[in-house]
Amino acid sequence: MSSIRIGPLGGTLTPFLYPPFCRTSRRSLCKLPFAFSRCSSTTTRHDESQTGPDSSNLNPTPDNYSLTPFADRCILTIEAGSGGHGCVSFLREKYIEEGPPNGGDGGSGGNVYIQAVRGETSLHKLARRRLIKAGRGRNGQGKMKGGERGQDVLITVPIGTIVREIQRRDPVADAEWAERRAERYGKNSAEEQGSYRKDKWLVFPGTVPSELNRMTFPELPKSRRSHLAALQPEAPIYLDLDKHMEAPMLLAAGAMGGIGNPHFITSNIPRPKMATRGDEGMKLSLQLELKILADLGLVGLPNAGKSTLTRALTNSKARVGNWAFTTLQPNVGTVVLDNHKGRPSVMKRGRDGILRENFLIADVPGLIEDAHLDKGLGLGFLRHVERAAVLAFVVDLSTGDAIETLKLLWREVSEYEGLRGKELNAETERRMVMYRPVGGRASQQKELEELDQPDLTSPQALPPLASTPISSKPWFVVATKADLLNTQENYEALRQYLDAVNNSTQPHPSNRENAWRRNIQSIPVSAIRAEGVEVIPQLVMNLLEE
């Protein structure tokens, strides 16, 4: 009976959840071969994961991986808050048979702000939301109580984000244009008589249709804008948020609320039974794209040691393994310059005079031959390389000629740079041929009537941004796996080649005329042992100043 009770222990999760119990009961389980084998193997793996070399940050166990959500481009639809409706109300007190109107005005809608802050490295939070809507203003109430203002919305983005407008729908601007057209071409008879418009007017509850037809509505008030609308950026929106913002920037101001029935008192109509509806909020479709993905971008072939190097420099938990394409999306880590344990090893101030405490490093997926033809991860990978301030070409000294590997990497980068130049020229020519003034209106009434409302349900993405040419960016070489045997000669040949490039006796690996070549350095490191990586932060900060 004892074997029947203890036997199921080897097939459960007890050794994983309670390893001390497994160790103490090992003697009792030795009589059962199947239970002993499972328990002993599980306990051995558990002890090794705690005390063995696999528990280090540079050679982690599989449970130490973390897939960081990442997005460097997204299309976002924002909507300012609509205004609340005006109130139709009358004073009701004892001994007052028909009191005066006392309906309050509707509250204005909420505003949408944007702010670039430190600490944000990705747009994945906004990419999941897609639609951001500010709060709607509350309706007015009786006793001249105005509606409450709508709740504002703040959008936080990483530093280096480009905001570009794709589409816009502004009901207030359309109403203002209709008013100007009416002043120019005259009003029709229905508008002069003040007819009822369901989308503009609110009437007293219980008003029957026959009474509604006999009512005379005054002329609609002219369109109003919030005083904050003067702070909005001009259309079309193009923002380069390349610095930390102490205060947020207004993107879309909330719409104004409707007005209550006391505003329509006249000598002929002492008790008006109408109020106006609140204006509809403005809708914007924006494309957000990170112009600078990181301060340092790692470029290399698959399995060159980029993820291990990222772990050696940061506390990142990027996935590592001895096979190709362990990294399928960029991993952004933070290299801390000051650990607040005394004098920092690297002290640098930015152009704004602020002492820098860290910089960002991007571990991008591996590059293969003909990546500029969209092979492998292709153009998506090269787009990440294009938006790094400094490039570090990671070369594996243990596999093949390091010089040929460096030339291969530069060849793919150079070909991609040529393709981006052709795309930019084609886009410039297309805009020159099909140029239309921004925000321009047709002069004829027929063209005005044929204008369609923009469709914000499925906006088309804008072309990628044109940044600094890759060949003109500062760069250096990181020679990994230098601790292995028979790698000294390979590194010495690489160092001599870079000296020849610095002295202009050898052409630049990209074969570009204006390529960057100012004291190009090579650093031999052992990323798995974190040896030699301590000089990289100082070198990166020096190159960022250039």
Q: What is the dihedral of CA 38, 40, 42, 45, to 10 degrees?
A: -150
Structure tokens at 334: 């933070």
The per-residue pLDDT for 134 is: 95
Lowest mean pLDDT among 37-41, 58-62, 212-216: 37-41
Between CA 539 and CA 522 the distance in angstroms is 11
What's phi and psi for 252, nearest 5 deg? Answer: -145, 125
122, 71 in Cβ contact below 8 A?
yes
Residue 238 pLDDT exceeds 70: yes
Chain segment 367-384, per-residue pLDDT in tens: 555 544 444 444 456 666
Quickly tell me which residue has 């990978």 as its tokens. Answer: 381
Structure tokens at 324: 């190709």
Structure tokens at 477: 């070489």
The per-residue pLDDT for 149 is: 93
* pLDDT > 90: percent of the chain: 22
Chain segment 167-209, per-residue pLDDT in tens: 999 998 888 888 888 888 876 544 445 678 888 899 988 888 8
* pLDDT > 70: percent of the chain: 68
| 241 to 73, 124, 245, 330: CA distances (angstroms) | 15, 17, 8, 21
The DSSP code for 526 is B
Residues written for the chain = 546
Between CA 290 and CA 146 the distance in angstroms is 42
| 384 to 207, 242, 300: CA distances (angstroms) | 63, 17, 13
Chain segment 278-327, per-residue pLDDT in tens: 999 999 999 998 877 778 888 888 877 778 888 888 876 665 655 445 55
Between CA 200 and CA 208 the distance in angstroms is 18
Chain segment 477-504, per-residue pLDDT in tens: 999 888 888 888 899 999 999 999 988 8
Chain segment 43-59, per-residue pLDDT in tens: 333 333 333 334 466 76
81, 281 in Cβ contact below 8 A?
yes
Between CA 53 and CA 49 the distance in angstroms is 8
What's phi and psi for 117, nearest 5 deg? Answer: -130, 160
What's phi and psi for 27, nearest 5 deg? Answer: -65, -40
Residue ranges and CATH numbers for the domains of the chain are: 10-68+292-424+478-544 (3.40.50.300), 73-290 (2.70.210.12)
Stated as kind and residue range, the H or E segment containing 355 is: strand 355-356
- Residue 232's region, left for phi above 0, alpha for psi from -120 to 50, else beta, is beta
Chain segment 420-475, per-residue pLDDT in tens: 655 555 555 554 444 444 444 444 444 444 434 445 556 777 766 656 777 888 99
State the average pLDDT over residues 534-545.
87
Q: Give how far the C-alpha of residue 538 lies from the chain's centroid of Cα atoms, to the nearest Å.
A: 29
292, 388 in Cβ contact below 8 A?
yes
Nearest to 521 by CA among 411, 399, 395, 363: 395
- In degrees, rounded to 5, the angle at the alpha carbon of residue 397 between the alpha carbons of residues 391 and 403 is 65
Between CA 188 and CA 530 the distance in angstroms is 80
The DSSP code for 224 is -
The DSSP bridge pattern shows strands 294-300 and 358-363 to be parallel
